[in-house]
């Protein structure tokens, strides 16, 4: 199962309609519809890439407007290419939504049982989204090659298990990221994966000393082996490096480019 394109109130983004039917806002932005100038044109949502902060905040406000949410209802992690996970509580609302300094320090994964929106930023790394219907919990992981090789997505599932939720009850979605067509890595990266994976079907031979890494497939493998059924797994097939007409790509465009946002939030039900 895959994602759908949506023309929203003012922005185009990817979403999953059947998650929305469950009261879950889920979205992945594109690079268009904002006010940032080249090389960040135009909907750059990352404050950490050298873009003018005032333009980034305008872009974020446009993104928040799509979801009818105030910055005080949003939580953002620092993103350090690690595997630390943080449970977002109501008091975390507003952290990182308008400044780098207030982001939740040292984390690349967030999950919550409240109605705070979770947001993370991407430009080739893998966005992974989670929803556990019985726990009424949602989560998001920023999985670059380091986080993927150390199985960050499995750590969010372990947090759900700690709360009494099994992986086979969990919904998961993998958003757009760089594909194996464009993601060549060296032996150092391959060796890191070999530390935690006994089999690596997501790596294909490349030129001497290199390989082509299917980083989405690596995360899918971890999710499936943890127990998530295929019918509860949604995968976006778009390669961010192939489609710089729609997405930012660090690999293709270099360090001076923007970031898309991954977004997930559980809406309050009427009785809540």
Domains of the chain: 4-266 (3.60.140.10)
Can you read off the two tokens belonging to residue 194? Answer: 């070999």
pLDDT of residue 67: 99
> Per-residue confidence at 245, pLDDT binned at 50, 70, 90?
very high
pTM higher than 0.95 for the full model?
Answer: yes
In the 8-state DSSP scheme, what is residue 200? -
Using alpha carbons, select from 3, 24, 8 the residue that is nearest to residue 265.
24
The answer to whether 262 touches 122, Cβ cutoff 8 Å, is yes
Lowest mean pLDDT segment, chosen from 30-34, 140-144, 204-208, 249-253: 204-208
Can you read off the two tokens belonging to residue 47? Answer: 């404050």
The answer to whether 62 touches 10, Cβ cutoff 8 Å, is yes
The answer to whether 12 touches 164, Cβ cutoff 8 Å, is no
pLDDT of residue 185: 98
Interior CA angle at 262 toward 148 and 26, to 5°?
115
Q: In what order do the strands lie in the sheet with 184-186?
A: 184-186, 210-213, 203-205
The answer to whether 53 touches 261, Cβ cutoff 8 Å, is no
């Amino acid at each position: 199962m895959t994602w759908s394109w949506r023309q929203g109130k003012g922005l185009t983004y990817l979403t999953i309609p059947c998650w929305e039917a469950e009261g879950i806002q889920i979205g992945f932005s594109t690079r268009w519809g904002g006010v940032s100038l080249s090389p960040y044109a135009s909907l750059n949502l990352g404050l950490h890439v050298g873009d003018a902060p005032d333009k980034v905040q305008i872009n974020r406000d446009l993104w928040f407007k799509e979801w009818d949410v105030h910055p005080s209802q949003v939580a953002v992690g620092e993103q350090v290419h690690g595997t630390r996970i943080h449970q977002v509580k109501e008091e975390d609302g507003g952290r990182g939504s308008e400044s780098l300094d207030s982001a939740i320090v040292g984390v690349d994964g967030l999950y919550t049982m409240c109605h705070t929106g979770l947001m993370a930023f991407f430009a080739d790394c893998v966005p992974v989204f989670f929803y556990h219907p019985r726990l009424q919990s949602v989560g998001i992981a920023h999985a670059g090659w380091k986080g993927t090789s150390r199985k960050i997505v499995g750590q969010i599932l372990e947090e759900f298990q700690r709360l009494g939720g099994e992986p086979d009850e969990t919904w998961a979605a993998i958003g757009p990221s760089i594909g194996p067509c464009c993601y060549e890595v060296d032996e150092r990266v391959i060796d890191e994966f070999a530390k935690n994976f006994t089999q690596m079907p997501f790596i294909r031979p490349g030129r001497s000393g290199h390989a082509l890494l299917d980083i989405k497939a690596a995360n899918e493998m971890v999710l499936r082996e943890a127990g998530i059924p295929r019918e509860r797994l949604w995968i976006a097939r778009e390669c961010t490096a192939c489609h710089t007409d729609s997405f930012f790509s660090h690999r293709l465009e270099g360090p001076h480019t923007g970031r898309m946002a991954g977004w997930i939030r559980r809406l309050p039900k009427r009785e809540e």
